[in-house]
Structure 1
Amino acid sequence: MPLVAQSTFRPLIGLGNPHLQTLLPAIARHMPPLPWSRERLELADGDFLDLDWLNPGHGRLLILSHGLEGNSRRPYVAGLARAAARRNWSVLAWNFRGCSGELNRLPRFYHSGASEDLAAVVTHAAQTGRFEVLALAGFSLGGNMTLKYLGERHASTVPVAAGVALSTPCDLAAASAAMERLRVWPYMSRFQKEILRKWSLKKALFPGLIPEINPRYQRTFRQIDNTFTAPLHGFAHAEAYWQACSANAFLPSIRVPALILNAADDPFLAPSCFPYEFASQSPWVHLEVPERGGHVGFMDRWGSQCDLWSEVRALEFLESFCTV
């Protein structure tokens, strides 16, 4: 029964608060720059994805998917990438459409269910012929995308051996509602500004395709997804988008070991983002719920050279299934 009964995570003394766990790793974890090597992957629809490679070689490859309005250089991505490279993994951290510092070419952007882009990255990596084993790890939105991909591609010939999803909103509708709570409004306000800034840039390029931007009426994920995400990516409305793309719907189809690592105090998540009942009966989907950790936090130590608990835990899980 892959329901981890007792997590080993213990927060750094004084950092038990979920907001401290969420904020400090993002704003105060100063890491030395990593020697990334960038590659541009041209897509069949005329768009592109920017891929960042670390320690490229042979053997095992870990493909990392970042979170909402993130990129491959965010501390949480760089932290897991560095920890993996230290354990002799090759790492590919890809940037979603419009997230690499350059606006993408098409009217569309990325979204929680854009697993076709992850599929293009995985296929490209596999076709290099350099890697015997591929594994996936995703953060938040990228975690949802990772689980969706694993559920969709269970019969794929691409050799993905295992996956990890960290701080993942497995139920997008419930998580979107959770982000409307007053105590998380500062986070939502930041996301709103970044998302609308990008849509403003997109509207300048495609004025007839992008709806009017009015921050007064696009303050929540429901409003943003109804106005932009859903119609511009082929969904009737926000609810249809959430229903089609939530990871919970794809968990029964996963046929490789997958770990969902969600903190019980994650301020971004709702109860339905913790699939306890399903994991207790699944031979494939493992669920670990530390009491503390915040959202993409899990800070148990301090120092620019330290690997955080979540990074070690994710790699230990993957390495138990990824041998070369």
Structure 2
Amino acid sequence: MAVIPSDYSPPLLFRNGHVSTVYYGLFRKIDDFDQERERLELADGDFMDLDWSYADKTSGKVVILLHGLEGHGQRPYITGSAKHLNQAGYDCCAVNFRGCSGESNRLYRSYHSGATEDLDAVVKHILGSKAYSELYIKGISLGGNMVLKYAGEGRELPPSLKAIMAVSAPVDLYSSLKALMGWKNIPYARRFRKHLVAKLKAKQPQFPELLPDHEIQKIKTLKDFDDIYTSRAHGFTDALDYYARCSSLQFLHNIKIKTLIINARNDSFLGPECYPYKQAEANENIYLEVPDYGGHVGFYDAQNIAYTEKRALKFFEQIYVEPNFLS
């Protein structure tokens, strides 16, 4: 529908993209917050763990929260969002993707940015087992790409799904990969690689023939990881095939529910193709906001509530107020 203006203006220190990214990634704390874990058994014999938090009063509203690469349901960008939404009357289900809840998953495969079958399983489980009349989904980073792909793939969406939101979403995975492999992102890329390789080594006792030492030793970059593991484990030809097939950019034209995308202009993880201006202007259901600041999932704001957390609540509360509900 539109590229909407942004009035996000953090304190001077947090106008630096790396400062905001690192602060919210490593130093932010969410206190006085509890979650209850539920294990979701999947049809293929694997599992995902769901971390629930609840509003004080039943409202019939629930938000599914999706984390980013090597994240989990206790990351502050997840728990901060859940706490803010709980206080406004929404229950929250923080999804831990396969292998991300502190326990290795059972299968050789794990999770990836386009694994919308897992999101679909969560949606069906929640709506099939709990009495919610309104469902919302908020995806962050990798989870943002996933929810956009989920909404635009052409599946029949449940009537109770009212809106989705994506924050710091790498809608073009190859563009994001190239950005992450740039010199200014070397510390982040090394950190991601370290965690990903550690997970493969933890899987080796289960799958020694599929994960021999000499293959793991070849992983020097994030693209190597996707060539050697992600593509092979999930049915893609190679990393480039994975990026091409799982980028949500190609599905945005087909989204038929209200959608808010917030990608900061100074997000060093996102390449130029990750700002879908044309798609937002062409689809009446998509609102794209590109603040000057925020880094990658680092939208610092007052009272330890991120700007995007406040934005999510406003979006979910006001989606039926037209035409300028986000202004």
Aligned residues: 319
Instruction: Find the counterpart in structure 2 of residue 104 from structure 1.
Output: 105
Instruction: Find the counterpart in structure 1 of residue 319 from structure 2.
Output: 321
CA contact 2:168–2:264 (8 Å) conserved in 1: yes
Could you tell me how far 1:237 is from its partner in structure 2? 0.6
Instruction: Find the counterpart in structure 1 of residue 324 from structure 2.
Output: none
Could you tell me how far 1:158 is from its partner in structure 2? 5.2
**2:300 matches 1:307:** no
Q: Secondary structure at the match of 2:3?
A: coil
Instruction: Find the counterpart in structure 2 of residue 25 from structure 1.
Output: 24
1:1-324 equivalences under 5 Å are 1-4=1-4, 6-55=5-54, 57-157=58-158, 159-212=160-213, 217-301=218-302, 303=303, 306-321=304-319
Q: Secondary structure at the match of 1:205?
A: coil
Q: Secondary structure at the match of 2:15?
A: coil
Calculate the TM-score normalised by the size of structure 1. Answer: 0.94
| Runs of 4 or more above 3 Å deviation | 211-217
What is the distance in 1 between the residues matched to 2:84 and 2:182?
34
CA deviation digits over 1:80-136, x for unaligned, max 9? 101100110010001000000111001111000011001000111111241001000
CA deviation digits over 1:170-220, x for unaligned, max 9? 000111111110110000000000000001111221111225456663222
What is the distance in 1 between the residues matched to 2:219 and 2:106?
24
Could you tell me how far 1:234 is from its partner in structure 2? 0.4
CA deviation digits over 1:124-176, x for unaligned, max 9? 11112410010000110000001011112552335211100000000001111
Could you tell me how far 1:3 is from its partner in structure 2? 1.2
Stretch of structure 1 that moved more, 21-30 or 139-148: 21-30
Could you tell me how far 1:263 is from its partner in structure 2? 0.1
Q: Secondary structure at the match of 2:298?
A: coil
Stretch of structure 1 that moved more, 211-220 or 134-143: 211-220
CA contact 2:253–2:282 (8 Å) conserved in 1: no
CA deviation digits over 1:43-78, x for unaligned, max 9? 110001100111064411000000000000000001
Compared with structure 1, are the counterparts of its residues 260 and 207 closer, same or farther at alpha carbon in structure 2 (3 Å cutoff)? same
Could you tell me how far 1:227 is from its partner in structure 2? 0.5
Between the aligned residues of both structures, percent identity stands at 42
CA contact 1:137–1:163 (8 Å) conserved in 2: yes
Mark the runs of 5 or more structure 1 residues left unpaired by the alignment: none
CA contact 1:162–1:322 (8 Å) conserved in 2: no
What is the distance in 2 between the residues matched to 1:188 and 1:321?
37
Corresponding letter in the other structure for 1:69: E
CA contact 1:123–1:158 (8 Å) conserved in 2: no
Q: Secondary structure at the match of 2:299?
A: coil
What is the distance in 2 between the residues matched to 1:193 and 1:148?
27
CA contact 1:154–1:255 (8 Å) conserved in 2: no
Please tell me the root mean square deviation across aligned C-alpha atoms, in Å: 1.6
Q: Secondary structure at the match of 2:84?
A: helix
What is the distance in 2 between the residues matched to 1:207 and 1:197?
15
Corresponding letter in the other structure for 2:33: L
